[in-house]
Amino acid sequence: MRVDDDEKIREILKTARSIAVVGASPKPWRDSRSIARFLLEQGYTIFPVNPSYTEIDNQHCYPTLQHIPVSIDVVDVFRRPDELLPIVDDAIAIRARVLWCQLGVVNEEAAERAVNAGMDVVMDHCIAIEYRRLMR
């Protein structure tokens, strides 16, 4: 289902344990790096996903979602909207519970595909902003 209400977002943030960060970067000026670090500090297990790197912040970096050897609760996407469809297909293949698209990442076709596969979809929201707003 498409998720926009605070109660459902809070529930996602409370129940999630593992978060794949698609588009993770070791570059300090990238939001994906600072947000992944923030989520790690909040106790989530983070799995960086980027085929260009093998390690980010002393964590193994996976080339795709399908290479992650454990279940993923949330797929947090830091990629352009036109790159979202294959990411959704991978998220469906690994049976992720939630597709979370960061601010500016909006692709209605991808969201519909994820919803039709039974995923919750949070689109055009920053996971760190929502955590700070709803969990503190």
DSSP string, 50-83: -TT-SEETTEE-BSSGGG-SS--SEEEE-S-GGG
User: What backbone phi and psi angles, to 5 degrees, belong to 115?
Assistant: -60, -45
pLDDT of residue 108: 97
Share of the chain above pLDDT 90, in %: 99
pLDDT in tens, 78-97: 999 999 999 999 999 999 99
pLDDT of residue 136: 79
Q: For tokens 């979602």, what's the residue? A: 65
Rounded mean pLDDT of the chain?
97
Share of the chain above pLDDT 70, in %: 100
**pTM score, whole prediction:** 0.97
**Cβ atoms 54, 60 nearer than 8 A:** yes
How many CB atoms neighbour CB 136 within 10 A? 6
pLDDT in tens, 25-63: 999 999 999 999 999 999 999 999 999 999 999 999 999
Average pLDDT over residues 62-89: 98
From the candidate CATH numbers 3.40.50.2300, 3.40.309.10, 3.40.50.720, 3.90.1410.10, the one assigned to the domain spanning 6-134: 3.40.50.720
